[in-house]
Amino acid sequence: MSSVIPFLPLMLGAIAALFLRGWTRNIIMLAAPVVGGLNLMGLEHGVFWSMEFMGYALEPVRIDKLSMMFGYLFHIASLIAVIYALHVKDTVQHVAGLAYAASAVGAVFAGDLLTLFIFWELLALTSVFLVWARRTDRAYSSGVRYLIFQVLSGVLLLAGLLIFAQVNGSLLFNEIGLEHEGIAEVGAWLIFLAFGIKCAFPFMHNWLTDSYPEATPTGTIFLASFTTKVAVYCFARGFAGEEILVWIGITMACFPIFFAVIENDLRRVLAYSLINQIGFMIVGIGIGTALALNGAVAHAFNDVIFKGLLMMTMGAVLHMTGKINGSELGGLYKSMPKTTILCIVGAASISAFPLFSGFVSKSMIMSAAVAEGYDVVWLLLLFAAAGVFHHAGIKIPYFAFFAHDSGIRTTEPPRNMLIAMTIAAVLCVVIGTFPAQTVYALLPWEADYHPYDLTHVLTQLQLLFFSALAFVWLNLRNLYPPELPSTNLDVDWFYRKLIPTFVKRIASAVYATYGQFENAIIAVIKRIIQHSYDTEQDQPKGYFARLWPIETMVVWVAVLLSGYLVVYYI
């Protein structure tokens, strides 16, 4: 095979970025995803570089339509992110970004669980530097919490794969499922939870909303593209058709809406929106039909691009103004008109407007839900679709670029940032307009689907129209939650409020008990001292408290030494 290992071009680009500077580094960084993408085109489906390790067969590189689709996606995403970050002179961000992308590519091409684990951990170690690279106290603390969750996910994956290797005698990464008996079931659930943490399942999602908004403007683009999508790929590979995923996914699609609507930090709004969109993908994987699975991976493909576009526009706003809270922004369309238009394209795409990329993938999942009799799920997905239009399709562009005029006057971001955003915007329109020739051509499963029929188009337009009408009415009536300087807590309330309060009370009780015990011991010691002291004579009482002559003490020393010698020789 003439081609090279899929992740190698990106990893070599990261190593080169560590030592090179200036325009030479920029050229190498741009070339890495381009060469990597061209390398993928030369790969044939199959298993390569197979080997044996401790009696287990390993497949470090396995190529099929599913892994190939994510491989193309990650190279496109890394190219856009590199272009967006060209103005940055920070070596840490460049090296971490490309190494992070290389780890994601290595993970989706891993044919065995051990190789997957290695890249799983590399994803955590490389990505955390994109959070720390902002070099603030909040970013450092958030990065530590992020790393704790990521390492926990890796520990669970390692424990699960060891159990699976012991029970099945194989480490190959194929369909895992949850239908097992005995210790194998424990291993399957450990792997399931490991994937779930990286996928930001409910109650395990806070690492995402905590860390992504604290990363650098350019680092967030990388973060939004890889970690969660690797987890989506792993669920599609290992747990397709597990019904529990349907209900987990619908929960993910719905609950972030309520937090995103009241959130002031616009990048945190997009972080909640990211969980919302992953929910759609998890629902499709849980349904498990060819149409649903195609919809899930197609939506993952599209989400990286349109969510990346929205993250890039908000990163541009942060870069140019130093502000990202909706309460501090507004009126930026006057000085950033190009960024405003690009943001609206991203908003239309994530809201699934016809002729935009979100429409051709989100409708696949919803159609699959109806076809399989998940009527309640379909209704909840409709609610989630309306909600994402509110918080991402309307709120983001409205409060950043329109709403009240904040008085901020700036300029458009650097040219490389505009180029990256334009590429993403063009892809959103091209994919939405010509799905059969673009993303549908890469789909792993055979399924015949035509998004532009009258029913789908009218249903989506009605949903979007009435959602927009609701936003306008609520806004005019002053009922829509205003953008207020605030900090909103969800699951992190447990470790920010409940646990510290609980620990403080326990610590106070322990400290008080220790103080009482210490005082009691001191009182006893004082009584003993007082009892052994003659206050009238002002000297200690008792036989051993007498004042002895020196010769008597010498005799006692001689007696003790003699006794020691006798005991020693006996």
* Separation between Cα atoms, residue 528 and residue 346, nearest integer Å: 81
Please determine, for residue 492, whether its predicted confidence score (pLDDT) is greater than 90: no
Give the pLDDT band (50/70/90) at residue 193.
very high
Give the pLDDT band (50/70/90) at residue 159.
very high
Q: Do residues 176 and 304 share a domain?
A: no
Question: Between these two residues, 63 and 497, which has the higher pLDDT value?
Answer: 63
Q: Give the global pTM.
A: 0.87
Q: Do residues 295 and 413 share a domain?
A: yes
Q: Is residue 210 part of a domain?
A: yes
pLDDT confidence of residue 175: 92
From 421, 452, 484, the end of a domain falls on 484
How many C-alpha atoms does 250 have within 13 Å on its Cβ side?
19
* Separation between Cα atoms, residue 550 and residue 391, nearest integer Å: 92
Q: Is residue 461 part of a domain?
A: yes
pLDDT confidence of residue 368: 94
Please tell me the total count of domains within the chain. Answer: 2
Give the pLDDT band (50/70/90) at residue 42.
confident
Please determine, for residue 378, whether its predicted confidence score (pLDDT) is greater than 60: yes
Q: What is the mean pLDDT of residues 362-372?
A: 93
- Beta carbons of 360 and 439 less than 8 angstroms apart: yes
Q: What is the mean pLDDT of residues 82-100?
A: 95
Q: Residue 23: left if φ>0, alpha if ψ -120 to 50, beta else—which one?
A: alpha
Q: Is residue 401 part of a domain?
A: yes
Q: Do residues 140 and 276 share a domain?
A: no
* Separation between Cα atoms, residue 505 and residue 507, nearest integer Å: 5
Cα angle for residues 218, 143, 488 (degrees, 5° grid): 90
* Separation between Cα atoms, residue 557 and residue 509, nearest integer Å: 50
Give the pLDDT band (50/70/90) at residue 13.
very high
pLDDT confidence of residue 420: 97
pLDDT confidence of residue 228: 96
Q: Do residues 172 and 284 share a domain?
A: no
Q: What is the mean pLDDT of residues 118-135?
A: 96
Q: Do residues 301 and 356 share a domain?
A: yes
| Assigned token pair, 27 | 């050229």
Give the pLDDT band (50/70/90) at residue 230.
very high
Q: What is the pLDDT of residues 261-309, one digit of tens each?
A: 888 999 999 999 999 999 999 999 999 999 999 999 999 999 999 999 9
Residue 280 belongs to what domain range?
Answer: 240-484
pLDDT confidence of residue 471: 81
Q: Do residues 30 and 67 share a domain?
A: yes
Q: Is residue 374 part of a domain?
A: yes
- Name the average pLDDT for the chain: 90
Q: Do residues 263 and 384 share a domain?
A: yes
pLDDT confidence of residue 227: 95
- Please state, as a whole number, how many other Cβ atoms lie within 10 Å of the Cβ of residue 167: 17
Eight-class DSSP state of 448: -
pLDDT confidence of residue 1: 43
Eight-class DSSP state of 217: T
Q: Which helix (H) or strand (E) holds 196?
A: helix 183-198
